[in-house]
């Protein structure tokens, strides 16, 4: 089943991440683990945001994805 996952990044933390020279490598590692079909970087609700289209076989896989972004796993 396909899911749309949104990860919001507060502006100050996002600015720090952009300046981090290792950020590209870490992001590549996360994407390699999650294997999204598509990834979109944008602004949403005044913050940086990442939208991922992922195919999950089990709803419990959402916990693994949320933990990679430091997000709480909750239903919307």
The string of pLDDT tens digits covering residues 12-62 is 888 888 888 888 888 888 888 889 999 999 999 888 899 999 998 888 888
In a domain, 40, yes or no: yes
> Taking the model in full, what pTM does it have?
0.75
Domain count, the chain: 1
In a domain, 10, yes or no: yes
In a domain, 39, yes or no: yes
Distance (Å, rounded) from C-alpha 68 to C-alpha 76? 18
In a domain, 24, yes or no: yes
Distance (Å, rounded) from C-alpha 10 to C-alpha 46? 9
> In whole numbers, what is the pLDDT of the chain averaged over residues?
84
Rg, the chain, Cα only: 12
Which pLDDT does position 20 carry in this prediction?
86
In a domain, 75, yes or no: no
Residue 62 CB-half CA count within 13 A: 17
In a domain, 48, yes or no: yes
Domain holding 35, by residue range, is 2-68
Confidence of residue 70 (pLDDT cuts 50, 70, 90): low
């Amino acid at each position: 089943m396909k899911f749309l996952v949104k990860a919001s990044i507060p502006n100050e933390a996002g600015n720090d991440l952009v300046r981090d020279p290792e950020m590209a490598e870490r992001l590549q590692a996360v994407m390699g683990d999650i294997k999204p079909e598509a990834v979109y970087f944008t602004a949403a609700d005044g913050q940086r945001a990442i939208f991922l289209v992922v195919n999950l076989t089990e709803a419990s896989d959402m916990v693994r994805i949320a933990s990679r972004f430091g997000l709480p796993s909750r239903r919307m």
